[in-house]
Amino acid sequence: MPSIKKTRLVFKVVGKEEAMAALDLYASKHGNLVTPLEIDANEFNRIYSHPYEETIAELWKWKAHIIPEYRSYPITEVYDNYVKCVADGEPTKWSLETDQFDISKGEWVFKGYVYEVKGLYSDDQIKLLILEDFDRERRYFEKLKVKFNESPSGDVIYERPRIPESVRIEVWRRDGGKCARCGSREKLEYDHIVPISKGGSNTARNIELLCEKCNRSKSNNVV
């Protein structure tokens, strides 16, 4: 059996405008730009949601992947690599060209987790193992929800209409196993964006993960 260990990484996806400004400012500070920028750190802090130093630290948290080779990177490429690392819908292999990771451990990143997979597996097999591990959590909590939603008579209360398993998997992966509105991982529910009663469908495009609080606050209105 494969050995899989995962570690949760807390991060915020930095917006492109903010990230590009931070990277540009970083480059200017290190002499990598021919033309000095008009913006400085104080101006950056005033414009964006949090200080320049925190934005750069957030981007550099992923340095082992977003800068995998020893060469100069255009800031647009740095940001594109960053988004691929933190937000893409499939497991991404961490760079093994730095000393930060042990090549024998096979480290990958997916949905805010770093996965350590031990064993002689191909990259395609490791991706499947990671996806299965991610979906196992979803199935476990759905099983618990059914178990504790039993009526006093012993009858199980099922969600209606039943969302196809393939759609549930797609939505869970797309939303990262957390509320699409507030990011909570507590009491998650599959919610139809356009209610079935108003012509909504059972497709992934019309379904999102919401925590109980956000779902109740939405009520039956189309948003």
Q: 209 and 108, same structural domain?
A: no
What integer pLDDT is reported at residue 136 of this predicted model? 85
Q: What is the domain count for the chain? A: 2
Q: Copy the structure tokens of residue 120.
A: 């002689």
In a domain, 148, yes or no: no
What integer pLDDT is reported at residue 150 of this predicted model? 59
pLDDT, tens digit, for every residue of 36-70? 456 788 888 888 877 888 888 878 777 766 776 77
Q: 175 and 109, same structural domain?
A: no
Token pair 């987790």 in the structure block, residue: 113
What integer pLDDT is reported at residue 207 of this predicted model? 94
What integer pLDDT is reported at residue 32 of this predicted model? 56
What is the C-alpha to C-alpha distance for residues 219 and 25, in angstroms, rounded to an integer?
Answer: 45
| Residue spans of the chain under pLDDT 50 | 33-36, 96-105, 158-159, 220, 222-223
Helix (H, G, I), strand (E, B) or coil at 208: strand
What integer pLDDT is reported at residue 203 of this predicted model? 92
The CATH number for 187's domain is: 1.10.30.50
What integer pLDDT is reported at residue 74 of this predicted model? 77
What integer pLDDT is reported at residue 206 of this predicted model? 92
Instruction: Judge contact between 11 and 109, C-beta under 8 A.
Output: no
What integer pLDDT is reported at residue 73 of this predicted model? 75
In a domain, 135, yes or no: no
Q: 178 and 111, same structural domain?
A: no
Task: Tell whether pTM > 0.75.
Answer: no
Which of 59, 84, 118 marks a domain boundary?
Answer: 118
Residue 102 pairs with which residues in a beta bridge? none
Letter for the amino acid at 183? G
The domain of 199 spans 165-218
Q: Compute how many other C-beta atoms are within 10 angstroms of the C-beta atom of residue 5.
A: 13
Instruction: Judge contact between 52 and 45, C-beta under 8 A.
Output: yes
CA angle 131, 62, 110 (to 5 degrees): 5
What integer pLDDT is reported at residue 210 of this predicted model? 92
Helix (H, G, I), strand (E, B) or coil at 136: helix
Q: Copy the structure tokens of residue 59.
A: 């981007």
